[in-house]
Amino acid sequence: MEDILQTLHQHTCSWLKGNITMYKYQNFWTTKHLIEGGILAQQNFKAEPSDVFLCSPPKTGTTWLKSLAFAIVTREKFDESTSPLLTKLVHECVPFLERQVAEIVAQRPNSGLPLIATHLPYSSLPESVAASNCKIVYIYRNAKDAIVSDYHFRREALKLDMEDAPFEGAVEEFCEGFSSYGPYWDHILGYWKASLERPERILFLKYEDLKRDPASNVKRLAEFIGHPFSDDEEKVGVVDNIVSLCSFENLSNLEVNKTGKPKGGTLENRLYYRKGKDGDWKNHFTDEMKERIDKLMDEKLSGTGLVL
């Protein structure tokens, strides 16, 4: 492993006062620890056809997607008053491939939960994911909101004040491709191309669409992952209950998500719940920054029909 890591290009994020160094592995950038996890996953993880991968670039709605998918697949066991989501951070309910591959492999035969989350780009997923033909749900988000969300997440994780972490620096590095698991556009394009080839196995969701119409998107998600709602369930309000259970307002106000820390982790749970809004970029971007990102996204995603 060290041999591989030593050959990789490195980049130290200057806007974070040099506190984070990322490495470039298979054309994406992330921290050493996550690259090690990705390599271990590529070497050891064997996907099953019944697995459901929840994939995303960081800060695009992973926490929300995981909560919704977990509530959907466990709804016969738990309801909105007994769900583990009320007492545990969702990242403890749905495993994250790069951090927990050994645990996932060990618990495999009897875990009973088909969900696995990852930030790995499509082309870096363990080969068995495509070979098993398992389902993949991908969530992405307006690039400007993803930049703002990541800016605050990493800044707060490092306990840096805004004055000590220039936002322009975060925008600059994003444009150069140095975002976590970035370049951001390549991450999206990889899954988007795969979804054109295998539309029945890869569902694309957009954070802004989920915000605008959560119930329809939750129904699409449930159907896609093989847990559709019955007419009776819809009549008695199961979809709305799941939407409410997983809403930002509900989850962000739970004690566990306000004051908890995941077992063995250092990040506070509250960092995963910041504002939960579409369009917070308007409070951070100058006109010039907005134009720069819009132009870049138009160029990178031209011809796809994807709007960021």
- Total residues at the site for ligand A3P (CB under 6 A)? 22
Contacts (CB under 6 A) with ligand A3P, residues 76-95: none
Q: In the bound complex, what is the minimum distance in angstroms from residue 101's beta carbon to ligand A3P?
A: 20
Q: Which residue of 274, 290, 292, 300 would you call a contact of ligand A3P, by CB under 6 A?
A: 274
Q: Please tell me the distance from the alpha carbon of residue 293 to that of residue 297, in angstroms, as a whole number.
A: 6
Q: Please tell me the distance from the alpha carbon of residue 168 to that of residue 4, in angstroms, as a whole number.
A: 33
Q: Is 284 marked active-site?
A: no
Which of 97, 104, 116 minimizes the C-alpha distance to 42? Answer: 97
Contacts (CB under 6 A) with ligand A3P, residues 39-78: 56, 58-64, 67
Beta bridge partners of 204: 138
Of the pair 59, 187, the CB lying nearest ligand A3P is at 59
Of the pair 2, 161, the CB lying nearest ligand A3P is at 161
Beta bridge partners of 10: 23
Q: In the bound complex, what is the minimum distance in angstroms from residue 152's beta carbon to ligand A3P?
A: 6
Q: Does 182 bind ligand A3P (CB under 6 A)?
A: no
Q: In the bound complex, what is the minimum distance in angstroms from residue 61's beta carbon to ligand A3P?
A: 5
Q: Scanning the structure block, which residue is given the tokens 């899954």?
A: 191
Strand blocks (E) in the chain: 10-12, 21-25, 28-31, 52-55, 115-118, 135-140, 202-206
Of the pair 10, 259, the CB lying nearest ligand A3P is at 259
Strand arrangement of the beta sheet that strand 28-31 belongs to: 10-12, 21-25, 28-31
Contacts (CB under 6 A) with ligand A3P, residues 194-253: 246-248, 251
Q: Does 292 bind ligand A3P (CB under 6 A)?
A: no
Contacts (CB under 6 A) with ligand A3P, residues 129-158: 145, 149, 152
Task: Tell me how many degrees the CA angle 104-106-110 measures, rounded to the nearest 5.
Answer: 85
Binding site for ligand A3P (CB under 6 A): 56, 58-64, 67, 145, 149, 152, 246-248, 251, 272-276, 280
